[in-house]
Amino acid sequence: MALRKTSGGVFRKYIDLRQSIGLYLSALFQTAHVSGDPLVRGLFYEVPQDRTAGDIADEYMFGSDLPEGPVIRFGQCSRAVYLPGDEMTTWTDQHEGEKDLSGRNNC
């Protein structure tokens, strides 16, 4: 029974997340349809002038606003990610609401 409650909580969390980005997804799909830009982009695609981003193969951007760094190793719960941009770029953690500077590894 505990597994069912845990699974339900996880499903609810990600359903809520999906609903919270609904407008972003609609705009992203429309832009992709009109411009041909891919939905999922390597960091090099979004920030071609950033040499560090160009060397990272296990992160990507979902559109131009959502960096993704998937956890892909068994038993791993977190990982460091590189947030591209210059000193004028600020990223916001959607779960915690914290703002962070770009151009460095974050965990």
Both 18 and 4 in one domain: the answer is yes
Whether 63 and 20 map to the same domain: the answer is: no
Q: How far apart are CA 89 and CA 6, in angstroms?
A: 36
Interval 43-86: pLDDT, tens: 999 889 989 999 999 999 999 989 999 998 898 888 888 888 87
Confidence check: pLDDT of 4 > 70 = no
CATH number, domain at 99?
Answer: 2.60.40.1180
What six digits make up the tokens of 84? 């591209």
* pLDDT single digits (tens) 5-25: 567 788 888 898 889 899 999
Where in the sequence is the domain holding 3, given as residue range(s)? 1-37
Check: CB of residue 85 under 8 Å from CB of residue 103: yes
How far apart, in whole angstroms, are the C-alpha atoms of residue 64 and residue 41? Answer: 8
Is residue 44 domain-shared with residue 96, that is, in the same domain? yes
Rg from Cα positions in the chain: 16
pLDDT for 1: 43
Regarding pTM above 0.85, the answer is: no
Distance CA 21, CA 77 (A): 23
Claim to verify: residue 45 and residue 31 sit in the same structural domain: no
Q: What is the pLDDT of residue 107?
A: 47
DSSP codes, 81-98: EEE---TT-EEE-TTT--
Q: How many CA atoms lie within 13 A of 66 on its CB side?
A: 15
Q: How many domains does the chain have?
A: 2
Q: Does one domain contain both 50 and 15?
A: no
